[in-house]
Amino acid sequence: MFLLLRLVLLFGTIGGAFVIIFIYEFKKLIILLKNDVKSLLAGVVAPTVLLVAFFLIFGNFSSLKLAFVNEDNGDYSKGLEASIFSRISALNHKPYFEKIEVDKNKAFELFEEGKVSGIIIINGGFEKALSSGENAHIEYHFNNYNTDAAKNLRLYLDEGILDFYKKTDSDLQIKTEEIFNVEKTIAWFDIIAVSVFLLSFLLGSMFNFLYLFNKEKEYKTLHEYRLSPKNIIASLFARIVVALMAGAITGSINAIFIYILTGINIFVYIPQMILLLICLGLIYIFFASLLAFYIENFSGAAVLSIVFTVVLWFLSGATASVKYASGVLRTISLLIPTTYALDEIRNIVFQNDSMSSGLPGYTVGYTIMIGYMVVMMLVTVTVYVKKLNTQAL
């Protein structure tokens, strides 16, 4: 009984000291944060720039301009013209192509100036050839400066030609039955925007830890830890809590921009995401703390943390689910904890259970993230105590 009482008193004393150190450290960090909000910049500026850039690239689809030259003017050529320029994008219900009707010389002039993406020329004799059962042909000059642009220009035209065949050739017995694997199609930019929210949270948390830790290096307050008779682990957890709060602030600011651009209200889903965000946030904060200990230069540590996080973010499926990846990319992606967090966040926001479709299941995903978190925590605690108790950084 006496031994049990001593153990209770011992743990009570240790717990009391932990709470006291935590409170004092927390108050100090909040004061530093209030007096210098630059620790929030990385979590706001970089993700917002990415968000706007992706919006301009993927969220603002506009029809591709094609110069159209009709040298035939028969019924068949007019029918082909109607089929090509009436194809509608399922994404935003706009035509794939915008017609610029000009003569041949003007068409090539516009093409050379980069004012149109391509030229369609229906040569004279088009209707005569089709009417007599011969092969007719058209010229298609298009900008194939990259594979994706060339692919889209080919596919959109082929879709128009197929529609023309269906309307004019009674012998063409092709019927396409479209079968979808999901109930709704999600806009590409919406998928990316939700990913940017996670990036904003991670960068805000990491940069806050690095920035405030660097401030204490400058103010020489880290020397106090060498004099502390108590265990200083509590101070680490205070730093972590403040870093998570900073991530919550930067993530919230980014969520407002996402709502303005997409109409998606991230705040509604936060209760379902909170444990996931904390788990992944801790992994990256622990990584940031190790950078703070081993890289003397703050700018170097900050740049490395941002580059590292953004690269992993892209590899984890920032622009599309990893379940559609293959080969080495898929193997690498499945080793990154961010992969599982991104997929689960999309599952929550879009009600699309992707973690159980083509990727390891919900339980496996969380197990991997928790495993990373525990390992990183043990390493960080060991380094934190060793560094601050034995030397001033």
- Got the DSSP string for 218-285? HHTGGGHHHH-SS--HHHHHHHHHHHHHHHHHHHHHHHHHHHHHH---GGGGHHHHHHHHHHHHHHHH
pLDDT at residue number 10: 36
* 191 and 90 in a common domain: no
pLDDT at residue number 252: 93
**Last residue of some domain: 135, 168, 201?**
168
pLDDT at residue number 356: 42
* 215 and 338 in a common domain: yes
pLDDT at residue number 177: 56
Taking the chain (393 residues) in runs of 10, the rounded mean pLDDT of each run is 37 58 82 78 82 75 83 84 82 80 87 85 82 80 72 81 77 58 72 91 92 80 59 83 93 93 92 92 94 86 89 85 74 87 87 56 81 93 79 48
Range of the domain at 147: 63-168
Enumerate residues 6+ apart whose C-beta is below 8 A from 58. Answer: 188, 189, 192
Q: Rounded CA gap, 157 and 177, in Å?
A: 20
Is 174 contained in some domain? Answer: no
* 37 and 105 in a common domain: no
**Last residue of some domain: 168, 203, 235?**
168
What amino acid is encoded at 99 in this protein? K
Is 4 contained in some domain? Answer: no
Q: Rounded CA gap, 67 and 98, in Å?
A: 8
- Predicted structure pTM score: 0.76
Q: Residue for token digits 């001033």?
A: 392
pLDDT at residue number 379: 94
pLDDT at residue number 72: 84
* 376 and 305 in a common domain: yes
| Tokens read off for 181 | 């694997």
Q: Rounded CA gap, 122 and 72, in Å?
A: 6
* 219 and 70 in a common domain: no
* 350 and 254 in a common domain: yes
